[in-house]
Chains A and B, each alone.
Chain A
Amino acid sequence: MNYEQKLQNVTVLGAAGKMGSGILLLTAVEMADLQLKPENRTKTFALNAIDVSPAALTGLYGYLKTQVRKVAEKKMNALREVYKDRSDLIENGEIIEQYIDDVLKIVHTSTSLESSYNSGLIFEAIVEDSALKVKLIKQILANNNNDPWFFTNTSSVPISELDMDADINGKIIGFHFYNPPAVQKLVELIVTDNTKQEVIDFAMEYAKRLRKIIVPSNDKAGFIGNGHFMRDIIFGIKQAQSLMDKMSFVEAIYAVNRISQDFMVRPMGIFQLMDYVGLDVCQKIMLVMRPRLNDDELHSELIDQLNSLDVKGGQNSDGSQKPGSLDYAKGRPVSVYDPKKKDYIAIESFQQKVDDMLGALPTSFKPWKAIIGNKSRDKFFVDYFNELKSMDTLGSTLTKDYVLNSKNIGLKLVSDGVTDKEEHVNTVMLTGFFHAYGPINNYFG
């Protein structure tokens, strides 16, 4: 079966979720572009968007419409060529409306799994619950006569486990997008010993068409991305706890969030990133990873506690950040959650005090935003971290510990066989997490 045929009837499970909606968008655009080729105009392309929430599926329409418009606006030259024979479509605006229509009419929303029974390709992007994933896959396999292939977006569950438990016979591959899928270039590709070659070939072609950067990961729970991220979280929480003889809980959370953003020149502090991903999602990922990797470190009482208090982070449907370990105004953290008081404490009430304790940033400091686009930024980081090394402040010590720990996590991923190459760890953090430098570096020797 060729690439195009495989994409004629596709299903996204969990289509209204954060990852699912992005996968749906990219796939809908790819399918529409295939359909708009002159030779395919009489063929039918169908993309089933399945989700448990009817309300979320309704919201999906607005999301897709807005996003497809952005896609169309960016490829106007190509679209004018696609619609060159349509004498009724003259202006860019008319062509864009037609394209939105052509993409959206491929998408069929549904709350019923039955809609997937005619699909040859299933993207699975439901919650990180391996039992539920297995259950749904089994049900589809029992009712679908189209030799369905499964592309799972799981960021933690080993693919061979799903393959075996759902009896998929190698027609499954880990195709892990990063959030948001429409923006992030990275896809972690997890191939098992059992994965069929034709599935791998299709995955490579699909990734290429979507202009994604593929990084292979071995089939170990959490893969490269969460293998690093979850341990980075654990370290951040521990570092905050170690500060509590000097400062209060909320001050320590603020301090470590600032270390892991400003001092480390990252796009977000570690607590903000946890909130962005969702504290419930982090908890679920650790629950998957801990027993499978036999690593008791992959657990956080703080995350459990916050979840039990219904403090979960994540995003609203408009993309704005929900309150989590921090609360936000205009996208910036403004307060820290105190589990004892069950309330958020304004950062400005203690910011100056904690900043004074951390000490100044190196004079060569530049924020992440100012440095990320700089191609020769390695030189900047050599100088920056050299200066930081020479400083004798709490901030510089915490930063050094954090950077070195991040490096050790990366090296452990290689020694544990999660990946074969250090370079892959760095690529994942650079392209999936938008870090400005890879964790495996020599800035601190």
Chain B
Amino acid sequence: MNRKIYMAAGYNTVSLGTGRKEFHPKKPRPGIEHYIKEAGQGTLKMLGGAKNVDEGVVGNFMAGRFVKQAHLGVFIPMIDEGLRHKPSLRVEGACASGGLALITGIKSVLAGTADTVLSLGVEVQNSVKAIYGADILAGAGWFQKRKEGHAYFFPGQFSERAGAYWEKYGKDKARKAHATWFRNAIENARLCPTAQEYHNKMPDLIDVGMMEPNPRSFTPCLNVFDCSKVSDGASAIGILSEEGLKRSGIAKSEAVEVIGFALKTDNITEDPEDLTKLKTVQLAAEAALEMAGIKAQDVATFEVHDCFTIAGVLTTEALGFAKPGEGADFVIEGNTSRHGKYPMNTTGGLIGWGHPTGATGVHQAVTIWEQLTGKAGEAQIEIPRDRPYGMTINMGGDDKTVVAIVYKKAE
């Protein structure tokens, strides 16, 4: 990279939806403007105000359908009067829209067209019931396939992946891994006040997670606890050059350095070659790690895209932590829990923290920034001195757009 890239000043709103005490499906809720404003102002404050920001990027997937609002780039000036007439745009890559907002910010800083970019991800999804939300989210797949797809389109897609995995490597082990992933997600979310499952008090999470999937009411191979939440929320973070850090008066100890990143995509009109593999995730992770010059084993903590428990399990294999079919064992053995060697999704991930689709990629970056700078509060894990790295993997659609980023403690 021709210049150093940092991230700092991360901010998450609450991930609002079922599970949160303040959420009631029939009561009025904040609109998308509220989330953009709260997250944007949260980050701006830490950046020392709008004067220090050169550009704004909004990552959003489907506001055009969820809340009938397009043209989101120009909500950036709504955050602060000082952002008027500055460049701002919206990017979309399904559930990787947040990741694209980061990549766009990184590229702008690398290009030298900005020293500080405000990257923000947002989604408001509780505007419709889940059964209609499923239609909207299905837009992350190829619409020509919608008719033959499941009522809950994406749970249907990943249920097929889970089914293929069961068939190849055994159902019992796989279901146990799914339940373990779910338990880890909820236990982590209980430590993060903005998490959607922060208030979760279910007594036996493994028992809940092991609930037999019901193909009549949902999908053949996934139960509802295997799925990420329907969420409203936003996250924002600053992407800065060294000059940007100086201008905002942010010490390097308060920032993380981006040492590797990759955006990989695949043809949306084609089915996955192997349902038991996340090929694009693997390619993006490998490219980002190669750029960073480290191995996955050097990374202290990961934020991975567990839109479904099976995606979490498959990602452990894509990262090379386990051979094909052994990701389930890797998870069951506790390696990905907060007490394991490679803690993943330490504030709950998509299943526990929530999945406001367009915001997720940015939320992942905020979590890694918090962990590497010691700001994760109760959810804080120990970062080993010899592994001062974090990594995010943000996936759009069924392994079609993947953003992987590797971070390092800046000082």
Contacts and interface: CB of A to CB of B under 8 A. Distances in A.
Interface string B111-147: 0000000000000000001011011001000010011
A77 B132 contact: no
Contacts, number: 31
A73 B217 contact: no
Interface SS, A side: helix
A90 B146 contact: yes
B151 A80 contact: yes
A372 to B, nearest CB: 18
B129 A73 contact: yes
Interface in B70-84: none
Contacts of B215: 77
Interface in A74-119: 74, 76-80, 87, 90-93, 96
Contacts of A76: 131, 151-152
Nearest to B151: A76
A93 B150 contact: no
A79 B131 CA distance: 12
Contact of B146 (A74, A77, A91, A96): A91
Contact of A92 (B135, B143, B217): B135
Contacts of B151: 76-77, 79-80, 92
Nearest to B132: A93
B175 to A, nearest CB: 21
A83 B132 CA distance: 17
Contacts of A80: 150-151
B3 interface: no
B68 interface: no
B134 A77 contact: no
Nearest to A81: B151
Interface string B131-173: 1101100100001001100111000000000000000000000
B216 interface: yes
A73 B134 CA distance: 12
Contacts of B146: 90-91
A76 B215 CA distance: 11
A74 B218 CA distance: 10
B216 A73 contact: no
Interface of B: 129, 131-132, 134-135, 138, 143, 146-147, 150-152, 215-218
10 contacts: A76-B152, A77-B150, A77-B151, A77-B215, A77-B218, A79-B151, A90-B147, A91-B138, A92-B131, A92-B151
- The 5 lowest CB-CB distance pairs between A and B, nearest first, are A76-B151, A91-B135, A90-B147, A73-B131, A77-B151
Given A77-B218, A90-B143, A90-B146, 19 more contacts: A73-B129, A74-B217, A76-B131, A76-B152, A77-B216, A77-B217, A78-B216, A87-B147, A90-B147, A91-B135, A91-B138, A91-B146, A92-B131, A92-B134, A92-B135, A92-B151, A93-B132, A93-B135, A96-B131
